[in-house]
């Protein structure tokens, strides 16, 4: 089994209950999540040995984040404690034609204010085989982008496989900033994960013949995107998730994996959404699990898509599913029959 590190921010997620609008009543569901933490939890649920690296304040909110990660068996010993606040994101769940809404209150969080000396990557990477981060982490600030670069260099030096989910967030930085910063990190990355918009938003690589808001997906277009990403940065694998948004309640969900020679397209799932936040992260975790477990490209892709398909049926950022549950769906049982 592999030892895996993910690095990024874990935030307090504050969401009204059910389909209520923000502050429609006076209760907020308070859970934790964030791209890289979500991947860590998912991998822990798959039984892998994974540690999450971040910076969290020494108060009860920071401790609650640590405890949540420990709950799933994620190693939290490498988390730096200090700083002022835990970042927050407010989430309002959409339904039908009404989109979900995210309001970030993550500026000045401990990790976004972190300094190079907060992390000793040589120690952190001791005995590690895989390092994962997403485009959100460097978007937190130039200081964090610099830390990412240090981590990538050290990981490469140690022969650690590096995966990165582009995860473009328009509220954190512009396409121009993203392209420039991500461009310096990509050369270290082995496995690149993107959704149907990221490649264009970050690197200006556009899938031809694809109308995202209309939910039409062109296989050919995605192939050219994957190829161009690989050609530009030398990735071993390029994985792209293909979300067909029918409405906030119903999506189609599939993905492709380009292994440098072949383009694998997964089966498509028509998902009735419970909570789609973290869907991409659960795909990334499935992909890492498949690759680490040497499942082969095709099965890896199907595992990753099935894992993330299930995520859409689960409340919260974290994908609370086991390997056997994913394999059961991957093997074709999506009928939802009660097991008893």
Stretch of residues binding its own copies (CB under 8 A), selected from 11-19, 46-54, 142-150, 185-193: 11-19
Cβ-based burial of 73 (10 A; exposed 0-12, middle 13-18, buried ≥19): middle
**Ranges within 272-311 binding its own copies (CB under 8 A):** 272-274, 276-277, 309-310
Checking phi first, is residue 8 left (phi over 0); if not, alpha (psi -120 to 50) or beta?
left
**Ranges within 60-89 binding its own copies (CB under 8 A):** 60-61, 64, 67-68, 70-73, 84-86, 88-89
Q: What is the DSSP string of 175-190?
A: HHHHHHHHHHHGGG-S
Q: What character string, x for contact with its own copies (CB under 8 A) and - otherwise, covers 13-32? A: -x---xxxxxxxxxxxxxx-
Q: What character string, x for contact with its own copies (CB under 8 A) and - otherwise, covers 38-57? A: --------------------
Do 240 and 283 contact (CB within 8 A), yes or no? no
Taking CB under 8 A as the criterion, the residue among 105, 146, 228, 299 binding its own copies is 105
**For residue 238, what are the contacts with CB-CB under 8 A and spacing of at least 6?**
191, 192, 193, 194, 226, 229, 230, 257, 258
What is the smallest separation between the CB atom of 73 and its own copies, expressed in angstroms? 6
Q: Which is nearer to its own copies, 179 or 334 (CB)?
A: 334
**For residue 320, what are the contacts with CB-CB under 8 A and spacing of at least 6?**
45, 314
Do 33 and 13 contact (CB within 8 A), yes or no? yes
Number of residues forming the site for its own copies (CB under 8 A): 86
What is the smallest separation between the CB atom of 206 and its own copies, expressed in angstroms? 17
What is the smallest separation between the CB atom of 46 and its own copies, expressed in angstroms? 14
Q: What is the dihedral of CA 132, 169, 181, 283, to 10 degrees?
A: 20
Beta bridge partners of 51: 5, 75
Q: Does 153 bind its own copies (CB under 8 A)?
A: no
Q: How many CB atoms lie within 10 A of CB 211?
A: 10
**Ranges within 111-150 binding its own copies (CB under 8 A):** none
Length in residues, the chain:
340
Do 131 and 125 contact (CB within 8 A), yes or no? yes
Q: Which is nearer to its own copies, 180 or 272 (CB)?
A: 272
What is the smallest separation between the CB atom of 214 and its own copies, expressed in angstroms? 8
Taking CB under 8 A as the criterion, the residue among 1, 47, 95, 174 binding its own copies is 95
**Ranges within 220-259 binding its own copies (CB under 8 A):** 245-250
Taking CB under 8 A as the criterion, the residue among 153, 170, 180, 216 binding its own copies is 170
Q: Which is nearer to its own copies, 2 or 61 (CB)?
A: 61
Q: Give the SS3 label for residue 16.
A: strand
What is the smallest separation between the CB atom of 188 and its own copies, expressed in angstroms? 26
Do 167 and 37 contact (CB within 8 A), yes or no? no
Taking CB under 8 A as the criterion, the residue among 261, 294, 324, 339 binding its own copies is 339
**Ranges within 202-221 binding its own copies (CB under 8 A):** 213-215
């Amino acid at each position: 089994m592999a030892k895996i590190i993910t690095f990024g921010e874990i935030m307090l997620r504050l969401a009204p209950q059910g389909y209520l609008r923000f502050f429609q009543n006076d209760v907020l569901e308070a859970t934790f999540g964030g791209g890289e933490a979500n991947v860590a939890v998912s991998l822990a649920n798959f039984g892998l040995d994974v540690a999450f690296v971040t910076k969290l304040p020494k108060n009860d909110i920071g401790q609650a984040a640590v405890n949540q990660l420990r709950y799933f068996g994620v190693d939290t010993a490498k988390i730096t404690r200090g700083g002022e606040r835990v970042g927050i994101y407010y989430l309002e769940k959409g339904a039908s034609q009404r989109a979900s809404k995210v309001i970030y209150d993550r500026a000045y969080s401990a990790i976004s204010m972190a300094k190079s000396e907060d992390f000793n990557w040589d120690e952190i990477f001791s005995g590690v085989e895989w390092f994962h981060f997403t485009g959100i982490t460097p978007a937190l600030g130039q200081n964090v982008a610099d830390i990412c670069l240090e981590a990538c260099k050290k990981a490469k030096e140690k022969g650690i496989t590096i995966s990165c989910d582009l995860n473009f967030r328009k509220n954190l930085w512009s396409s121009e900033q993203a392209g420039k910063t991500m461009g310096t990190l990509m050369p270290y990355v082995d496995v690149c994960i993107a959704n149907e918009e990221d490649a264009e938003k970050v690197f200006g690589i556009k899938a031809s013949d694809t109308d995202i808001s209309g939910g039409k997906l062109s296989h050919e277009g995605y192939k050219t995107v994957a190829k161009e990403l690989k050609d530009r940065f030398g990735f071993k694998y390029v994985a792209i998730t293909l979300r067909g948004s029918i409405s906030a309640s119903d999506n189609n969900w599939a993905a492709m994996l380009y292994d440098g020679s072949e383009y694998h397209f997964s089966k498509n799932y028509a998902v009735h959404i419970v909570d789609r936040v973290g869907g991409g992260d659960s795909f990334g975790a499935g992909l890492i699990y498949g690759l680490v477990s040497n499942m082969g490209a095709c099965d890896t892709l199907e595992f990753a898509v099935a894992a993330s398909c299930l995520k859409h049926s689960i409340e919260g950022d974290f994908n609370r599913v086991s390997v056997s549950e994913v394999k059961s769906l991957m093997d074709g049982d999506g009928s939802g029959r009660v097991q008893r």
